[in-house]
């Protein structure tokens, strides 16, 4: 019979998520994970098998929380354009804090670092972004103009590409004014 875990999984995943977010997957060591989670190597391995498994769990932890919040903001606003603008404004506010290490979006970071060489990471990032992409697809599908399924998907993909690029620009330290102007242009793409 397995012994019960003596740690709070959400706390462990939050700690692991932060270190992967700050350092990236490749640069994160087992020692970094031990410090971030306050759990020794043996217990981490017993609970998560290896660094890769813990990384996927941390990605899921971030993705479910972040994308659920993004979808909620977008769908509860007066209009999708307004909701999406609020999402982008929130990203700007996060990037503009006194914290000198703006982390951007962990899903975008994972896609950038590993997506091109690790099919499972690419699939996981796409899976976690799907609820957000579905909101855009539904928005374009409800427009009075007739579009093929491929055209609708391309429109939703263009917004997702804009969002990912926007989050990267937030991470790179672009000025608040420049980010606000970009957010406004990005949100205009939702006009149908």
Gap between the Cα atoms of 169 and 175, Å rounded? 9
Mean pLDDT of 132-146: 88
Per domain, the residue ranges of the chain are 58-188
pTM of the model: 0.88
Mean pLDDT of 16-43: 90
Read off the tokens for 98. 């006194």
Read off the tokens for 40. 């020794």
Right CATH number for 58-188 from 1.10.357, 1.10.15, 1.10.730, 1.10.287?
1.10.357
pLDDT at 17 over 60: yes
Q: Which of 25-29, 62-66, 97-101, 178-182 has the lowest mean pLDDT?
A: 97-101
Q: What is the pLDDT of residue 1?
A: 47
Q: What is the pLDDT of residue 148?
A: 87
Interval 77-115: pLDDT, tens: 999 999 999 999 999 988 876 554 567 899 999 999 998
- Given its phi and psi angles, is residue 97 left (phi above 0), alpha (psi -120 to 50 degrees) or beta? beta
Do residues 22 and 103 touch, judged by C-beta distance below 8 A? yes
Burial label for 71, CB within 10 Å (0-12, 13-18, 19+), is middle
Do residues 73 and 86 touch, judged by C-beta distance below 8 A? yes
Mean pLDDT of 155-171: 93
Do residues 52 and 94 touch, judged by C-beta distance below 8 A? no
Q: What is the DSSP letter of 8?
A: -
Interval 63-80: pLDDT, tens: 999 999 999 999 999 999
Q: What is the pLDDT of residue 134?
A: 96
Pinpoint the alpha helices (H) of the chain: 9-23, 30-37, 41-48, 51-76, 80-95, 106-110, 119-141, 149-171, 176-188
Gap between the Cα atoms of 34 and 67, Å rounded? 27
């Amino acid at each position: 019979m397995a012994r019960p875990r003596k740690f709070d999984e959400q706390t462990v995943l939050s700690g692991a998520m932060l270190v992967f977010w700050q350092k990236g997957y490749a640069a994160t060591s087992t020692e970094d994970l031990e410090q971030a989670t306050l759990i020794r190597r043996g217990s981490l391995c017993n609970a998560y098998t290896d660094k890769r498994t813990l990384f996927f769990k941390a990605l899921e932890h971030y993705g479910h929380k972040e994308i659920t919040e993004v979808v909620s903001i977008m769908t509860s606003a007066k209009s999708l354009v307004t909701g999406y603008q609020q999402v982008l404004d929130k990203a700007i506010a996060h990037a503009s804090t006194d914290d000198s290490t703006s982390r951007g979006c962990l899903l975008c970071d994972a896609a950038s670092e590993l997506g091109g060489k690790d099919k499972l990471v690419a699939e996981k990032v796409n899976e976690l972004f799907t609820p957000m992409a579905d909101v855009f697809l539904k928005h374009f599908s409800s427009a009075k103009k007739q579009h093929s399924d491929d055209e609708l998907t391309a429109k939703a993909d263009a917004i997702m590409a804009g969002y990912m690029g926007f989050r990267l620009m937030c991470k790179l330290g672009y000025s608040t004014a420049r980010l606000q102007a970009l957010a406004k242009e990005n949100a205009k793409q939702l006009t149908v």
